């Protein structure tokens, strides 16, 4: 496969590249600028929305002949042929809209609305971000029939190949996504952002995402694979960015009300208010949902609020302030052993386990166009939040004796600032783009572990707050990064995008933990347990420079061949420094991880006809952290040992394709029937291991085969979608254990699951129904070592939902 990859790269580099041009201008009706107008190049992914003054800009358009379209509800659609020339770096196009009669409005909307099949690619340059030559997907939620109320990730990411998804609950309280052998737990191997800023607990020290944005308030989701490391941070998985909705620029105040009810006592209500008042764009929503859960002891109560205010001082400067609040309480039914799961997957043998999260995110964003060629972006963000876990973390094959419970309390106080400057310039007649940026991040996590009250209630307080039985730590952290990328357009169809990132990281730990050892009782002469506190102070400083390069060839209309190589790095997190868990022991000498991602692929898109992306990848993971089974020599107890298990690799193919069959066959355009398939084939192995019985084993959490086909059908106001998921058997630890008494290790058997969704629009009213897990499959996607287990976490069975949406 390596020879094939090298051959394709050599073929790519034989082509010269084309200049890329900026198209900008205004959309007006008379003398008044029209904010919110859609301007796009037909049968391409290049599009822009006009700002408060009616101005638009599309950056990085290759030379060629296009049809430019301007669409605005209630006005006549404009279509013009344009020529984008290499010797004209800036093409200025202004448009005048004419109002339509009411009778023609619906016809125009149906004929000219851009359809993305629900997934598209990012432009080479968007705002202050460079995506040229990077494997990426954009999920456009408005073009998909989904169960948004439950944040159903199985449906939402069904057109993104290669993702392994944890299904922890039926409410979508937490998101668990992994790729190419990366642990899906709370999406910790991705850099998770909202509107371009971090939302995880601690970006480097504890990159777990306890907050998941409400999909009812999300406009689109951007997924950029490991090549995102140069601009967004070093995570192997890449970037996952939720772009939230904005206020409707055509209305001063638009209200959306959504209510959904479903199986197992599920209820969800979502209300939003948005609009444009002069230079101020505003959008606010509140979501509340509750339910009893598919299993006993799995009820939840969740509240999420979000507000965004954007002030466009002029056509060059905009300032945005945003606040996000989340608070939820969930009872956790615990895990099951293999035998219990096979007996009855819906049962629960834990009724005293609880989990609560409180999240407060703040951000201040500044966009400023210093000139026609220079743009500045500044993102400031902070988090004040916490998560508490209470319950019995003992092995699931042991009886819960109603003793005091384990209480884990984390409090987070983080701040970050990231500045970007993107400069468009020319070398000869070729348009180029340079991005430089800097980032400062400071985090503080306060972590406490001790005994909580006995009983069954959600009582999150320590019995001995001044003298905790397990540990009491402060984890300060600091990160400074400098990064740069440059798009070099070399000739007719080819670009080269090299990049560098310099990181400085400090990780600290201050506190104490308790340790139990065997000592001889001087009176009896027998060995007894002795517990004492160990004070600890650690500081780890490291700095490094890593880089990458991307290639893009666009010689065939509506298609692109791309390749990318990027180095990656992952810092050890707080759980790797100190955590007291009866199911886990951490190596005192555990080290950071490093490696790289390589992608080579071809992708294409023709509006409302076809969309595809087929690629090969190779991920190298050095000093991969994982868990192996060891035996305690004193009591012969088998336990999980977390350490740098070995070097590893993951290689394979990820493919997605979708076609509109009715249009392809030349039939009635009133109907649309699109068929898609998402396939990933992966081989992942451990190599060069110092642990016995590991080298040559399969990587855990890597299904060798995932096949996710489906179809969608629409006609005027009606839309439906059907999805099928097949995930092949995979392992959960490096030793490839098939089954253990604790159920923490073992295989995840192959499973298949189907979902069906219907939507019908009646003017301003939308009716939605869905059936999740249509065939009522009994399956599970994870074995947890700690919360929400330990043990097997069953996925939910068949469930039904009905929802109403009204906009006024």
- pLDDT tens-digit profile of 63-72? 888 999 998 8
Distances 374 to 102, 501, 570 between C-alpha atoms, Å: 42, 21, 33
Confidence (pLDDT) at 518 = 66
- pLDDT at 711 exceeding the cut of 70: yes
d(CA 84, CA 93): 11
- pLDDT at 193 exceeding the cut of 60: yes
For 202-216, 268-282, 769-783, 793-807, which range has the lowest pLDDT when averaged over its residues? Answer: 202-216
Confidence (pLDDT) at 587 = 80
Confidence (pLDDT) at 627 = 76
On the question of a cis peptide bond just before residue 790, with omega within 30 degrees of 0, the verdict is yes
Confidence (pLDDT) at 340 = 97
Confidence (pLDDT) at 664 = 87
- pLDDT at 374 exceeding the cut of 60: yes
- pLDDT at 451 exceeding the cut of 90: yes
Q: What is the mean pLDDT of the segment spanning 492-514?
A: 92
Question: Is 117 or 546 the better-scoring residue by pLDDT?
Answer: 546
Distances 117 to 159, 561, 639 between C-alpha atoms, Å: 10, 21, 48
Beta bridge partners of 801: 262, 770
- pLDDT at 153 exceeding the cut of 50: yes
Confidence (pLDDT) at 9 = 41
| Length of the chain (residues) | 808
Domains of the chain are 1-114 (2.60.40.1120), 241-401+418-441+467-807 (2.40.170.20)
Confidence (pLDDT) at 637 = 67
Closest CA to 562 of 95, 11, 18: 11
Pairing outcome for strands 90-92 and 20-29: parallel
The half-sphere exposure of 133 on its side-chain side, counting CA atoms within 13 A, is 29
- The region that residue 12 occupies, defined by phi over 0 for left and psi between -120 and 50 for alpha, beta otherwise, is alpha
- pLDDT at 73 exceeding the cut of 90: no
**DSSP letter, residue 142:** G
- Share the mean pLDDT of the chain: 89
Cβ atoms 76, 100 nearer than 8 A: yes
Confidence (pLDDT) at 18 = 40
- pLDDT at 106 exceeding the cut of 70: no
- pLDDT at 710 exceeding the cut of 80: yes
Share of the chain above pLDDT 70, in %: 92
Q: What confidence tier does 108 reach under pLDDT thresholds 50, 70, 90? A: very low
Q: What is the mean pLDDT of the segment spanning 169-196?
A: 92
On the question of a cis peptide bond just before residue 788, with omega within 30 degrees of 0, the verdict is yes
For 50-59, 97-106, 446-455, 549-558, which range has the lowest pLDDT when averaged over its residues? Answer: 97-106
Cβ atoms 732, 701 nearer than 8 A: yes
Cβ atoms 790, 748 nearer than 8 A: no
Q: What is the mean pLDDT of the segment spanning 616-637?
A: 82
Confidence (pLDDT) at 49 = 85
Question: What would the two tokens of residue 239 be?
Answer: 């970037």
pTM: 0.88
Confidence (pLDDT) at 16 = 32
Written as one string, the DSSP assignment of 594-613 is EEEEEEEEEEEEETTTEEEE
The half-sphere exposure of 195 on its side-chain side, counting CA atoms within 13 A, is 28
- pLDDT at 661 exceeding the cut of 70: yes
d(CA 25, CA 93): 5
Q: What confidence tier does 320 reach under pLDDT thresholds 50, 70, 90? A: very high
Confidence (pLDDT) at 74 = 63
Confidence (pLDDT) at 54 = 87
- pLDDT at 207 exceeding the cut of 60: yes
- pLDDT at 376 exceeding the cut of 80: yes
- pLDDT at 15 exceeding the cut of 50: no
Written as one string, the DSSP assignment of 614-649 is EEEEEEEEEEEEEEEEEE-TTT--EEEEEEEEEEEE
Provide long-range contacts, Cβ within 8 A and 24+ apart, for 467-471. Answer: 469/514, 470/406, 470/513, 470/514, 470/580, 471/447, 471/511, 471/512, 471/513, 471/514, 471/578, 471/579, 471/580
Distances 317 to 311, 376, 405, 420 between C-alpha atoms, Å: 8, 10, 54, 15
- pLDDT at 789 exceeding the cut of 60: yes
Q: Provide φ and ψ at 445, rounded to 5°.
A: -115, 130
Share of the chain above pLDDT 90, in %: 66
Question: Is 758 or 518 the better-scoring residue by pLDDT?
Answer: 758
For 111-115, 208-212, 354-358, 412-416, which range has the lowest pLDDT when averaged over its residues? Answer: 111-115
Per-residue pLDDT tens for 576-610? Answer: 666 565 556 778 788 889 999 999 999 998 877 89
Confidence (pLDDT) at 635 = 63
- pLDDT at 488 exceeding the cut of 60: yes
Q: Write out the E strands in 453-526.
A: 471-489, 494-520
DSSP-derived 3-state class of residue 562: strand
């Amino acid at each position: 496969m390596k020879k094939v990859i090298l051959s394709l790269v050599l073929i790519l580099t034989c082509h010269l590249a084309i200049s890329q041009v900026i198209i900008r201008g205004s959309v007006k009706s008379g003398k008044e600028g029209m904010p919110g107008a859609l301007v796009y190049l037909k049968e391409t992914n290049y599009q822009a929305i006009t700002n408060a003054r009616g101005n638009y800009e599309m950056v990085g358009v290759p030379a060629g002949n296009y049809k430019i379209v301007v669409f605005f509800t209630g006005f006549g659609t404009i279509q013009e042929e344009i020529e984008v020339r290499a010797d004209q770096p800036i093409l200025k196009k202004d448009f005048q809209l004419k109002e339509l009669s009411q009778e023609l409005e619906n016809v125009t909307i149906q004929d000219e609305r851009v359809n993305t099949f629900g997934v598209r690619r990012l432009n080479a340059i968007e705002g202050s971000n460079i995506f040229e030559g990077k494997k990426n997907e954009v999920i456009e939620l408005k073009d998909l029939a989904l169960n948004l109320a439950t944040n159903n990730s199985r449906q939402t990411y069904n057109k993104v190949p290669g993702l392994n998804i944890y299904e922890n609950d039926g409410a979508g309280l937490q998101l668990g996504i992994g790729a190419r052998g990366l642990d899906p737990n709370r999406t910790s191997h991705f850099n998770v952002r909202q509107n371009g800023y971090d939302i995880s607990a601690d970006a480097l020290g504890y990159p777990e995402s306890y907050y998941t944005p409400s999909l009812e308030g999300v406009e689109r989701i951007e997924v950029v694979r490991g090549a995102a490391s140069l601009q967004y941070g070093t995570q192997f998985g890449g970037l996952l960015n939720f772009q939230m909705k904005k206020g409707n620029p055509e209305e001063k105040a638009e209200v959306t009300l959504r209510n959904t009810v479903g199986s197992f006592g599920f209820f969800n209500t979502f209300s939003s208010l948005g609009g444009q008042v002069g230079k101020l764009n505003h959008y606010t929503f509140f979501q509340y949902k509750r339910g009893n859960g598919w299993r006993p002891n799995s009820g939840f109560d969740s509240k999420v609020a979000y507000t965004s205010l954007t002030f466009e001082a002029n056509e060059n400067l905009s300032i945005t302030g945003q606040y996000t609040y989340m608070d939820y309480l969930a009872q956790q039914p615990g895990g099951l052993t293999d035998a219990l799961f096979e007996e009855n997957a819906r049962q629960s043998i834990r009724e005293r386990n609880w989990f609560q999260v409180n999240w407060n995110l703040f951000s201040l964003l500044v966009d400023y166009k210093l000139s026609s060629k220079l743009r500045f972006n500044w993102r400031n963000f902070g988090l004040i939040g916490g998560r508490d876990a209470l319950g019995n973390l003992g092995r699931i094959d042991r009886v819960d004796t109603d003793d005091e419970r384990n209480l884990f309390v984390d409090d987070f106080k983080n701040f970050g600032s990231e500045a970007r400057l993107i400069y468009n310039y020319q070398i000869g007649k070729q348009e180029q783009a340079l991005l430089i940026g800097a980032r400062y991040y400071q985090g503080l996590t306060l972590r406490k572990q001790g005994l909580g009250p006995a009983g069954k209630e959600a009582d999150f307080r320590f019995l001995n707050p001044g003298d905790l039985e397990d540990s009491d730590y402060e984890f300060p952290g600091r990160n400074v990064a400098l990064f740069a990328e440059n798009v070099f357009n070399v000739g007719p169809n080819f670009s080269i995008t090299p990049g560098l990132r310099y990181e400085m990281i400090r990780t600290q730990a201050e506190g104490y933990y308790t340790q139990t050892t065997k000592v001889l009782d001087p009176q009896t002469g027998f060995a007894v347990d002795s517990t004492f506190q160990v004070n600890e102070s650690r500081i780890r400083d490291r700095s490094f420079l890593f880089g990458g390069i991307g290639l893009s060839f666009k010689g065939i209309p509506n298609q692109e061949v791309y390749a990318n190589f990027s180095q990656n790095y992952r810092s050890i997190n707080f759980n790797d420094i100190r955590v007291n868990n009866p199911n886990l022991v951490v190596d005192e000498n555990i080290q950071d991880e490093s490696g790289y991602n390589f992608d080579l692929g071809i992708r294409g898109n023709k509006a409302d006809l076809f969309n595809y992306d087929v690629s090969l990848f190779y991920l190298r993971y050095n000093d991969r952290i994982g868990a192996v089974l060891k035996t305690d020599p004193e009591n012969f107890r088998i336990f999980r040992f977390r350490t740098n298990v070995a070097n590893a690799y993951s290689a394979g193919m990820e493919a997605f394709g979708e076609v509109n069959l009715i249009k392809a066959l030349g039939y009635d355009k009133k109907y649309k029937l699109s068929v898609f398939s998402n396939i990933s084939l992966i081989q992942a192995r451990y190599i060069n291991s110092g642990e016995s019985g590991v080298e040559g084993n399969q990587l855990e959490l890597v299904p060798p085969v995932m096949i996710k086909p489906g179809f969608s059908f629409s006609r005027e106001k009606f839309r439906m979608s059907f999805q099928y998921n097949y995930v092949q058997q995979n392992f959960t630890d490096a030793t490839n254990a098939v089954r253990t008494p604790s159920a923490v290790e073992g295989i995840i058997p192959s499973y298949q699951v189907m979902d069906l969704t219907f939507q019908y629009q009646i003017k301003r009213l939308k009716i939605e129904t869905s059936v999740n897990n249509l065939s009522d499959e009994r399956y599970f996607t994870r074995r947890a070592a700690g919360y929400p287990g330990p043990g097997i976490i069953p996925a939910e069975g068949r469930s039904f939902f009905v929802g109403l949406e009204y906009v006024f």
